[in-house]
Structure 1
Amino acid sequence: MKRIYLILAISFMTLLLCTPVTLAREVTVQGYGTTRDEAINDALRNAVEQAVGTLVDSQTLVQNAEVVKDEIYTKSRGFVQDWTIVSEQRSAGQTVITARVQVDTNPNSRLMGQLQRLKLIEQGLRDPRIGVIIPEYHISAPIPDPAGETAVIKKLIEAGFSRMVDARQIQNIRYTNTVKSIMQGNRDDAISFASSQGLDYIIIGEAFSTRNSYLYGLVSCGARLEAKIIKADTGEVIATNGLYGTGVHSSEFIAAKMALNEAGEKMGDYMVQQLMAFASNPEKGVQLIVKGITSYNKISILESELKQLRGVKNVYVRGYNGGIVTIDINYTYAPKTLASELEKLSGINLSITDISNSGIQAMMKY
């Protein structure tokens, strides 16, 4: 009998040692915002900060000449695994959310299931419309119905991205100079094309396949696929990579397709990971473009007032030319909320002319 208990004990300990440990921590936090979505975003950010505890930047927010509170913000890429809303209250135009949040404290973890990904797609990326354009060439000849592009789209759909642009909608542009220009970093072409197609993000690239060898009636082909994710409204590059694939078949054309498909699947996985990492960081960048500026003093006043707004973490003046100023803002809430606050500024009179997923355009009024 003792021997049986000993065997059972050893088996149990072995099972414990072999079971993978998920570095996750559950915390209960509150989030505040003018809308429910903003309150959830605030709660998720607070949970990541509390659980991960990576103190990168400390900033004191000042409002109405009083110190509101000292906020600790984190740049950690820890993932929110799941959350449950415990209570929800709305009072005086503000929503308060209390939530139990499970945060994965391993920054390299990919332990996010379909439900968590769907939540991040909806909450962190605002259910984006994505276009994928990856022209393919086999020994310098264009390939119809690109396999790598199809594989990337398939991976994104499997991850939960539902608003993918039909490849047939943009097939006429696939092998044009516009795609080459965007790949070479032409920001204006990227923004113009995205606007014409109603896109929030563009995944754009190129793929090449070549014949490697021929042996025993089989052709071996290799492929390389390069691609990057671009925020459509600002032209910002979120991620970029180049990956390889191989294929073997009696037909050289099919072997090339197999190699391109393998490279495309790898790229699709990579793009999903990068979009999820981007979504899991609740502090997003908003680009503000203001026209009609008559002096640099106005920019200084605008910069100072922006820093006092709730949710604004950092403000960077990127350029000023011809009466137009471009400002990058690290902001935790939705652009539409920031736009509403901009029209209430006391020292500057702005009229909002355009709002996108991560950009605002305004005109100075006098």
Structure 2
Amino acid sequence: MSFLKLYAKAAVISLALLLFASSAFAVEATGEGIDRQQALNSALRSAVEIALGTAIASDSIVESGVLVRDEIASHSKGYVTSYKVISESALEGGYTITIDAMVDSTVLGDDFNTLSILQKMSNLPRLLIFASETGFSSVPPEAMKPLVHDVAQVFGEKFRFEVIDWPIARASYSSIEGQMNLEKAVKYNSQLKADYVVDVELELPEAANPVLHLSVVRISDKLKVAEVRRPVEKYVRLSGKPAQRYAQATEAAKPEVYWAAVRAAGKMVEYMESELDRGKGFRYELAFTAFPEIERVGRSLEDIPGFVRSEVKRRNGKNMEMVYWSTLRPEALFKRVQGSLKDIGVEKFKSKMDGRSMKFRWENPEGF
């Protein structure tokens, strides 16, 4: 299914979300459980389910059989901005509580829309997920392995991205030494074959709770498409060794992973949508070297299915560099360009692809 068709479907979901006209939605809900905390969690979940409403019930079942409504409701606390207890009492073998909750309907609607789209999308980008240490107060990457794994699970299992969990996968890439970072991801992407990196950082400031930071960068041109910062709600600072503080901080940050990942994935979806909906397609860099009929090559590229437009950056003699916009994904476009060259009679050429950068050279010069 194309992105444009997909987002046409998503528009149906968006219409259902018109109920969320204000940023806050007041809900009275009751929950029961074996103790007060379980009863409260049940009431919070009920509040979110009520806010979601019956209007979107028909859109809740997605292709993978996962209920988006259940996914959201299971993380209900992140959508309730405040609540007050109206009544509570102990029952025989349990507890009941009724609350008046304020649900953030804007965030709830955005997340429902994002999750519905992600669950229905095919050919999602391939993500390389790792931890970085950009600041003096960041938790070291070695201490971040459990948190990186949790982030990878959310993107992979919940949202269906193809994920490279770097702390786990690094043994399969023995030629890549040291800590992973963006520069290495770009340098070694012929091996990694990732579309985006998700850089996970946990800041540990002196006078405040930790902050979980997710940054999503497209490898082909280092374009940052998403950035999310989420403060950790509960954290008790230890005065012991750094390793103790790091372990406690990463454990405290785990409940924030889901919501941070939803926001990052949502921004990725928004970016991918805007690329196509504005008629730009996906942006590629194409380079042709030593081709005898370079103008004919340029004309042939306009006949490739998915072509949107192109812009020649440099052309002289037998060489040409261009920016090329297409609705095709990289692998599909690469094969189409190869086929187009053969269709105009170019039989002997070398080609290589690195993300959205593609190079083609007539015959087989050394060093290419």
Is residue 44 of structure 1 aligned with residue 27 of structure 2? Answer: no
For residue 290 of structure 1, report the CA deviation from its aligned partner: 2.9
For residue 314 of structure 1, report the CA deviation from its aligned partner: 1.6
Q: 2-side partners of 1:322 and 1:197: how far apart?
A: 35
Task: Output the amino acid matched with 2:236.
Answer: H
Partner of 1:168: 168
For residue 243 of structure 1, report the CA deviation from its aligned partner: 0.9
- Determine if contact 2:185/2:192 at 8 Å carries over to the other structure: no
Q: Within 5 Å, give how 1:267-286 maps onto structure 2.
A: 267-280=260-273, 283=276, 284-286=281-283
Q: For residues 62-95 of structure 1, give each alpha carbon's deviation from its aligned partner in whole angstroms, at most 9, with x where no partner exists.
A: xxxxxxxxxxxxxxxxxxx8999xxxxxxxxxxx
Is residue 135 of structure 1 aligned with residue 135 of structure 2? Answer: no
Aligned pair in 2 of structure 1 residues 159, 320: CA closer, same or farther (>3 Å)?
farther
Is residue 364 of structure 1 aligned with residue 362 of structure 2? Answer: yes
Q: Within 5 Å, give how 1:200-349 maps onto structure 2.
A: 200-212=195-207, 221-232=208-219, 234-246=220-232, 247-249=234-236, 251=238, 253=245, 255-258=248-251, 260-261=253-254, 264-280=257-273, 283=276, 284-293=281-290, 298=294, 301-318=296-313, 325-342=320-337, 343-344=339-340, 349=346
User: TM (normalized to structure 2)?
Assistant: 0.52
Q: 1-side partners of 2:9 and 2:362: how far apart?
A: 37
Count of aligned pairs between the two proteins: 253
Aligned pair in 2 of structure 1 residues 155, 111: CA closer, same or farther (>3 Å)?
same
Task: Output the amino acid matched with 1:243.
Answer: R
Aligned pair in 2 of structure 1 residues 352, 127: CA closer, same or farther (>3 Å)?
farther
Q: 2-side partners of 1:290 and 1:199: how far apart?
A: 21
- Once superposed, what is the RMSD of the aligned Cα atoms? 4.6
- Determine if contact 1:132/1:153 at 8 Å carries over to the other structure: yes
Secondary structure of the corresponding residue to residue 270 of structure 2: helix
For residue 331 of structure 1, report the CA deviation from its aligned partner: 1.2
Is residue 112 of structure 1 aligned with residue 113 of structure 2? Answer: yes
Q: Percent identity among equivalent residues?
A: 11
Aligned pair in 2 of structure 1 residues 329, 348: CA closer, same or farther (>3 Å)?
farther
For residue 355 of structure 1, report the CA deviation from its aligned partner: 5.0
- Determine if contact 2:118/2:160 at 8 Å carries over to the other structure: no
For residue 209 of structure 1, report the CA deviation from its aligned partner: 0.6
Secondary structure of the corresponding residue to residue 205 of structure 2: strand
Structure 2 residue runs of 5 or longer lacking an equivalent are: 13-58, 63-108, 240-244
For residue 291 of structure 1, report the CA deviation from its aligned partner: 3.9
Aligned pair in 2 of structure 1 residues 130, 319: CA closer, same or farther (>3 Å)?
farther
Task: Output the amino acid matched with 2:206.
Answer: R
Q: 1-side partners of 2:170 and 2:140: how far apart?
A: 16
Task: Output the amino acid matched with 1:237.
Answer: L
User: TM (normalized to structure 1)?
Assistant: 0.52
Q: 2-side partners of 1:257 and 1:145: how far apart?
A: 8
Q: 2-side partners of 1:285 and 1:142: how far apart?
A: 35
Task: Output the amino acid matched with 2:361.
Answer: M
Q: For residues 6-64 of structure 1, give each alpha carbon's deviation from its aligned partner in whole angstroms, at most 9, with x where no partner exists.
A: xxxxxxxxxxxxxxxxxxxxxxxxxxxxxxxxxx328717947999xxxxxxxxxxxxx
Q: 1-side partners of 2:319 and 2:201: how far apart?
A: 35
Partner of 1:60: none
Q: For residues 183-202 of structure 1, give each alpha carbon's deviation from its aligned partner in whole angstroms, at most 9, with x where no partner exists.
A: xxx5xx43223333343322
Q: 1-side partners of 2:196 and 2:10: how far apart?
A: 27
Q: 2-side partners of 1:361 and 1:235: how far apart?
A: 15
Q: 2-side partners of 1:264 and 1:50: how far apart?
A: 27
